[in-house]
């Protein structure tokens, strides 16, 4: 969703802002803008559309300066247009601001400001905040920092902001509440970002701002952090482990393709240092403080959204099979708006690539309030969910830039598999030989995915044949059901083809009505257990002349003969190896989307980090 960049220091600011915004494009946006301060005067450029449109609009001679802020906007209040784009300037021109999040009481605040003579150019909640700060600054005769602080005490909602006062151009003021904001610390200079990607080429030293905290960054290299209640906070500088190459396409035509091909490595990174083959053990250091809670959990509730929710359903199969703990999987957005029955012996696992998804974050807070032990499975280090939870495991998949999640999903499932196995072993629920074969399967997943990725042509051919199909159905049984859901989600989000995922046996209760000789039905038919049942489901589709695209294990005989098209994946024997079957589905969506001329990495209307409810 929206992205913020900012800089104060000695360097030319415009290229830092533009390059930073390009690095934030992956979050999803519909307009963008920058404010460059030249001799203490703000020059604001903003347009609807892409950063390339903004660059074209600005031309070859942007203003020069060493202080500025920039923004990519994903519209919430008011349509995407030049006026609603950020930065916004307050009515009398004293404050320039960029903002992520939503000010929930903006309408009340706006009414009060209108009564005091304020007028508004845009429909945004952000302009309300800019004018509120200015009103407090002028009326209260306080410093710019205090004006921002007092204003933030009056707003309800989520914000990550960067603010510059035209009277105090030696300062960049930033603040956050439930919307991420990271400060990059250089030599007498500071960078600001919604995450570290805009500035990681300049510095790895970062300060993660906490909720309801604000920081004043000054040109002489001084940083002051306070809560919005005015309590002083000691800045804690950390090193972010982010490599510049990881956020480049590295020769691939799209980030999504790069990330699909990165999976052998990203999964190896997820398990590295955690699976100890000398002692046949799995050690998840981040869970140590809560291990006894997990072992004695009455129930595990997994919450997440989208792809992370699908990983949660895979987790349900793995936990129930190997750990024998009852599991419920909930959409975070539904969970938080019910009054769920949660007890202190429940363990809630929140799964989130970004660690910033508003609904998942709210579910975490609710579960904590109700006394559960809350564990996070996040990819982004230092993200809000990883900081809100009692304990957690990072997926270490590396930055995921493509909006459609691929390597984060496989990493999440691997973490869940490691958890399920280690708990199952500790509870004596898995026989030693079974445990060994599961562990062996787990460590060979990267190599099998690599093998599969060497032969993408089998998938490409099918993509070519069905790229114009208006609908797809995806079917799977058992742990292939979440794979079917995830395959369908990938296709619809990047190719805009309608696709639905279903448990294969449920098909006859409704979706079977859709099947005719034009309907491609992707069946993930790699089951060992229940193979005959999936054969039946394939027959049901064939009887209605549906087109079967079957994902099978190498050497499969029965379904391979029945299917119209077959994609073989390397042999595996357990539910953990089942994860491999998502790879052909990721590739199928990718190729179809490319063939249809879609913007694969930034699909329409989608955002990478969904920080609104």
**Of 290 and 408, which has the nearer Cβ to ligand F6R?**
408
Answer for which of 42, 306, 398, 456 binds ligand F6R (CB under 6 A) is 306
Gap between the Cα atoms of 239 and 203, Å rounded = 9
435's torsion region: left (phi>0), alpha (psi -120 to 50) or beta?
Answer: alpha
Strand 31-38: give its sheet, edge to edge.
41-48, 31-38, 67-73, 3-8, 190-193, 182-185, 205-208, 238-239
Q: Which structure tokens are listed for 194?
A: 């919604």
CB of residue 275 to ligand F6R, shortest distance in Å: 24
Instruction: At 22, list the tokens.
Output: 């390009």
Could you say whether residue 360 binds ligand F6R (CB under 6 A)?
A: yes
Q: Specify the residue, 401 or 404, whose C-beta has the smaller distance to ligand F6R.
A: 404
Asked if 378 and 395 touch (Cβ cutoff 8 Å), the reply is yes
Is position 405 an interface residue for ligand F6R (rule: CB under 6 A)? yes
Please identify, among the stretches 230-238, 242-250, 302-310, 589-597, the one whose residues bind ligand F6R according to the rule CB under 6 A: 302-310
Of 421, 410, 416, 371, the C-alpha closest to 393 is 416
Query: Which DSSP symbol is given to 83?
Result: T
> Which range in 40-48, 272-280, 301-309, 500-508 contacts ligand F6R by CB under 6 A?
301-309
Distance CA 493, CA 217 (A): 39
Q: How far apart are CA 192 and CA 180, in angstroms?
A: 11
Q: Which of 266, 353, 422, 537 binds ligand F6R (CB under 6 A)?
A: 353
Site stretch for ligand F6R (CB under 6 A), options 55-63, 281-289, 306-314, 433-441: 306-314
Binding of ligand F6R by 410 (CB under 6 A): no
In whole angstroms, give the CA distance from residue 141 to residue 219.
Answer: 23
Q: How far is the CB of 400 from ligand F6R (least distance, A)?
A: 8
Closest approach of ligand F6R to the CB of residue 308, in Å = 4
Q: Nearer to ligand F6R by C-beta: 165 or 404?
A: 404
Selecting among 2, 305, 378, 479, the annotated active-site residue is: 2
- Pick from 10, 9, 4, 61: nearest CA to 34: 4
Residue of minimal CB distance from ligand F6R? Answer: 306
Binding segment toward ligand F6R, per CB under 6 A, in 348-356, 462-470, 523-531, 554-562 = 348-356
CA distance 36 to 71: 12
Q: Which CB sits closer to ligand F6R, 24 or 430?
A: 24
Size of the site for ligand F6R (CB under 6 A): 15
The interface with ligand F6R within residues 486-515 (CB under 6 A) comprises 489, 493
**Is residue 598 involved in binding ligand F6R (CB under 6 A)?**
no
Q: In which residue are the tokens 């009340």 written?
A: 108
By C-beta, is 352 or 495 nearer to ligand F6R? 352
Q: 140: which 2 tokens?
A: 């209260």
Among 207, 329, 404, 479, the residue binding ligand F6R under the rule CB under 6 A is: 404
Shortest CB 93 distance to ligand F6R, Å = 37
330 makes contact with ligand F6R (CB under 6 A): no
Report how far residue 348's alpha carbon sits from residue 368's, in angstroms, rounded to the nearest whole number.
Answer: 9
Output the smallest distance, CB 54 to ligand F6R, in A.
25
3-state secondary structure 392-447: EEECCCCCCCCCCCCHHHHHHHHHHHHHHHHHHHHCCCCCHHHHHHHHHHHHHHHH
Binding piece for ligand F6R, criterion CB under 6 A, among 129-137, 152-160, 169-177, 354-362:
354-362
Among 31, 131, 333, 354, binds ligand F6R (CB under 6 A): 354
* Binding of residue 308 to ligand F6R (CB under 6 A): yes
What angle (nearest 5°) sits at the alpha carbon of residue 411, between those of residues 407 and 416?
150
Residue closer to ligand F6R, measured from CB, 405 or 410: 405
CB of 585 to ligand F6R, least distance (A): 12
Measured distance CA(185)–CA(189) in Å, rounded: 7
How many residues belong to the chain?
Answer: 613
Does the footprint of ligand F6R cover residue 260 (CB under 6 A)?
no
Q: Closest distance between ligand F6R and the C-beta of residue 196, in Å?
A: 16
3-state class (DSSP) for residue 572:
coil
CA distance 584 to 524: 10
Check residue 270 for interaction with ligand F6R (CB under 6 A): no
Minimum distance between the CB of residue 4 and ligand F6R, rounded to whole angstroms? 18
- 562 burial type by CB count under 10 A (0-12 exposed, 13-18 middle, 19+ buried): middle
Reported as type and span, the H/E element at residue 585 is helix 582-595
Q: CB of residue 2 vs ligand F6R: minimum separation in angstroms?
A: 15
Out of 22, 48, 50, 608, which one is annotated catalytic?
A: 608
Q: By three-state DSSP, how is residue 180 classified?
A: coil
Stretch that binds ligand F6R, among 214-222, 314-322, 352-360, 560-568 (CB under 6 A): 352-360
Q: Residue 160 corresponds to which tokens in the numbers above?
A: 């990550």
Give the nearest distance from C-beta 466 to ligand F6R in angstroms: 20
Question: Is 165 a known active-site residue?
Answer: no
Residue 181: helix, strand or coil by DSSP? coil
Integer Cα distance of 461 and 455 in angstroms:
11
Q: Using CB under 6 A, which of 31, 307, 422, 586 touches ligand F6R?
A: 307
Mapping DSSP to helix (H, G, I), strand (E, B) and coil, where does residue 329 land?
Answer: strand
48 carries an active-site annotation: no
Which of 31, 126, 333, 352 touches ligand F6R by CB under 6 A? 352
Q: If binding is defined by CB under 6 A, does position 178 make contact with ligand F6R?
A: no
**Angle at 535 (CA atoms; ends 534, 538), nearest 5 degrees:** 85
Considering only the stretches 84-92, 154-162, 208-216, 350-358, report the one whose residues sit in contact with ligand F6R under the rule CB under 6 A: 350-358
**Shortest approach of ligand F6R to residue 281 CB, angstroms?**
28
Binding region for ligand F6R (CB under 6 A) out of 47-55, 271-279, 300-308, 529-537: 300-308
On the CB side of 33, CA atoms within 13 Å amount to 25
- Catalytic center residues: 2, 608
Residues that bind ligand F6R (CB under 6 A): 305-308, 352-354, 357, 360, 404-405, 489, 493, 609-610
């Amino acid at each position: 969703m929206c992205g913020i960049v900012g800089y104060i220091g000695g360097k030319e600011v415009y290229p830092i802002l533009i390059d930073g915004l390009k690095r934030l494009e992956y979050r999803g946006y519909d307009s963008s803008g920058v404010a460059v301060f030249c001799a203490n005067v703000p020059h604001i450029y903003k347009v609807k559309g892409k950063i390339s449109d903004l660059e074209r609009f600005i031309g070859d001679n942007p203003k020069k300066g060493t202080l500025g802020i920039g923004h990519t906007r994903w519209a919430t209040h008011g349509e995407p247009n030049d006026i609603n784009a950020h930065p916004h300037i307050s009515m009398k021109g004293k404050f320039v601001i960029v903002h992520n999040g939503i000010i929930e009481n903006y309408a009340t605040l706006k009414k009060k400001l209108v009564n005091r003579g304020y007028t508004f150019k845009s429909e945004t909640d952000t302009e309300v905040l800019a004018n509120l700060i200015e009103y407090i600054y002028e009326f209260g005769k306080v410093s710019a920092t205090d004006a921002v602080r007092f204003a933030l005490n009056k707003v309800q909602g989520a914000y990550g902001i960067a603010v510059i006062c035209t009277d105090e151009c030696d300062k960049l003021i930033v603040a956050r509440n439930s919307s991420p904001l990271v400060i990059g610390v250089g030599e007498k200079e500071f960078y600001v970002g919604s995450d570290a990607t805009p500035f990681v080429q300049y510095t790895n030293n970062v300060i993660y701002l906490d909720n309801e905290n604000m920081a004043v960054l000054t040109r002489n290299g001084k940083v002051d952090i306070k809560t919005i209640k005015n309590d002083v906070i000691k800045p804690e500088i950390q090193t972010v482990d982010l490599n510049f190459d990881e956020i480049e396409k590295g020769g691939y035509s799209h980030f999504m393709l790069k990330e699909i091909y990165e999976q052998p490595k990203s999964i190896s990174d997820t398990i590295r240092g955690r699976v100890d083959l000398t002692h046949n053990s799995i050690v998840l250091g981040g869970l140590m403080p809560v291990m006894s809670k997990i072992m004695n959990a009455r129930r595990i509730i997994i919450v997440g959204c989208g792809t992370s929710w699908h990983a949660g359903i895979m987790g349900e199969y793995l936990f129930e099979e190997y750990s024998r703990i009852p599991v419920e999987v909930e959409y975070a957005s539904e969970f938080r708006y019910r009054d769920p029955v949660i007890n202190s012996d429940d363990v809630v696992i929140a799964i989130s690539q970004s660690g910033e998804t508003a609904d998942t974050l709210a579910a975490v807070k609710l579960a904590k309030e109700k006394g559960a032990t809350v564990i996070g499975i996040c990819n982004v280090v230092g993200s809000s969910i990883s900081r809100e939870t009692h304990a957690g495991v990072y997926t270490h998949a590396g930055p995921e830039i493509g909006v459609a999640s691929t390597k984060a999903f496989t990493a999440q499932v691997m973490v869940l598999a490691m958890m399920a196995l280690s708990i199952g072993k500790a509870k004596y629920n898995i026989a030693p030989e079974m445990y060994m074969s599961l562990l062996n399967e787990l460590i060979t997943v990267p190599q099998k995915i690599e093998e599969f990725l060497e032969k993408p042509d089998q998938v490409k051919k099918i993509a070519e044949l069905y790229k114009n199909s208006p609908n797809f159905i995806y079917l799977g049984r058992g742990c292939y059901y979440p794979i079917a859901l995830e395959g369908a989600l990938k296709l619809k989000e990047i190719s805009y083809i309608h696709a639905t995922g279903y448990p294969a046996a449920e098909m006859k209760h409704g979706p079977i009505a859709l099947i005719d000789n034009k309907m491609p039905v992707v069946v993930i038919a790699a089951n060992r257990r229940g193979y005959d049942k999936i054969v039946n489901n394939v027959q049901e589709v064939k009887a209605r002349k549906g087109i079967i695209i079957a994902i099978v294990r190498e050497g499969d005989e029965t379904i391979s003969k029945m299917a119209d098209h077959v994609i073989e994946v390397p042999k595996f024997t357990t539910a953990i190896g089942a994860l491999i079957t998502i790879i052909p589905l990721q590739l199928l969506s990718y190729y179809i989307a490319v063939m249809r001329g879609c913007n694969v990495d930034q699909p329409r209307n989608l955002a990478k980090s969904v920080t609104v409810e």
